[in-house]
Amino acid sequence: MHVLFFSDHHPDSLGGVQTSLLLQKKYLERAGHTVTVVTSRRYRRTKTEGFIEMPSLPLPPTGAYSIQPSLHLAYRKAQKALSELAQPVDVVHIQADMWQAILGAAWAIEHDLPLVQTIHTNLEVGFQHNVGKRGAKSVGQIMNRWASSFLNQPMPEDASSLWQFQQQIARHSNFVSSPSSHFNKELIKHHVTKDAFVFPNGVDDDVVEGVTHQWTDASTRKLKFIWAGRLSSEKRVIEFLGAFAQADLKDVELDIYGAGQLDARVRLMIRQLGLQKSVRMRGRLPHKQLVATFASADLVAQSSVGFETQGMTVYEAISVGTPVFVVDPKIAGELPAENVWLSKKPDIDEMAKTLKKAVAEIRSGKAKRANDTGDWSVLQSKLTARMIKLYEEAIKQGPKRLNK
């Protein structure tokens, strides 16, 4: 089977979606299948076999992500590169939420191929956090106009809705999936799709199997906490730092992993709060190394609310035995409750209280370590086996045909 992925962001850039894409490719190929990825060009990198890169511009200020200024130019480039592939494509899988989602749907329609779509991102919440409600409506108008024009279909009733944009793509898909049951409910609630499958972003079996633990008595030693993710407003790293400072935790060190537009602000806040001795900025780490680092921690924290469609870091932490701190009850509901400290409210005061509680329980021997997660598992090998069956069913159905 030859599977064609479309992705907005190059898999070697920072992010849970990108990591998931590489893992899916790895385990599909391990199962004997071929995977080609059409993606935005990644700057300052070496080209990799199996990737077709589209003309794009880096998004400021970090350049970690890209935007495609001309869908027509990108589509012509994809057409030429894909026509030269030795093995014909059997199924298209859109792993994108923006411009590559449009290109993937257009390519599947033109080539009369079945289409599977994974909706990874809550675009409405994400853009409202970064450009405000008015800015999010402007983005929605642009994306809906592009999709309507490129896919030759009417504009939706609410032309500024990013949910409606996602529905423009989903209507062409044989199957729609999302990383969590709570995001599935949002997709159905906003009429993106009538039904969706839950396919969590997975954790690499090889990484989990290679992890070793060196847990020691925590009653008197320094504790190690980790916050990992993109340094952007929707991840609420600023609020988490405020809670960490307010909690005034003794002999607790916090390592922050990641990069993003708030990097300078986070560094300044660490100095302003007097946290230089207890908080360290670690930058980015290769995925395998980061997961191994989770295994050495006493707690991995995630502070976003209402944005994460899954929240990969806490899944990875529990998979290697480390308990987690979360603020979003929907994320907590997807995890084994015995491995989670949930802040009852997202405000700084309540997060600080929960952090204090976590420290007290860790010190007293109630560490909530995930020694055995039972039936709960996000190992990529198991998820890939399920996805292969979905591909086979989509191929059996053939391309979805709409009555326009």
Model confidence pLDDT, tens digit, residues 239-291: 999 999 999 999 999 999 998 889 999 999 999 999 999 999 999 888 788 88
The 10s digit of each residue's pLDDT in 87-144 is 899 999 999 999 999 999 999 999 999 999 999 888 988 888 778 899 999 999 999 9
Q: What is the CA radius of gyration of the chain?
A: 21
Superfamily of structural domain 205-363: Glycogen Phosphorylase B; (3.40.50.2000)
The 10s digit of each residue's pLDDT in 195-214 is 888 888 888 888 888 777 77
Contact indicator for 299, 190 with CB cutoff of 8 Å? no
- Write the burial class of residue 354 (CB in 10 Å: 0-12 exposed, 13-18 middle, 19+ buried): buried
In the predicted structure, residue 31 carries a pLDDT above the cut 90: yes
Tokens standing for 238? 């600023």
What pLDDT score was predicted for residue 111? 94
Contact indicator for 17, 313 with CB cutoff of 8 Å? no
**Residue-range domain boundaries for the chain:** 2-202+379-397, 205-363
Superfamily of structural domain 2-202+379-397: Glycogen Phosphorylase B; (3.40.50.2000)
What pLDDT score was predicted for residue 108? 95
Tokens standing for 72? 């027509």
Fold: same for 2-202+379-397 and 205-363: yes
Tokens standing for 7? 């992705």
In the predicted structure, residue 220 carries a pLDDT above the cut 90: no
How much is the pTM? 0.77
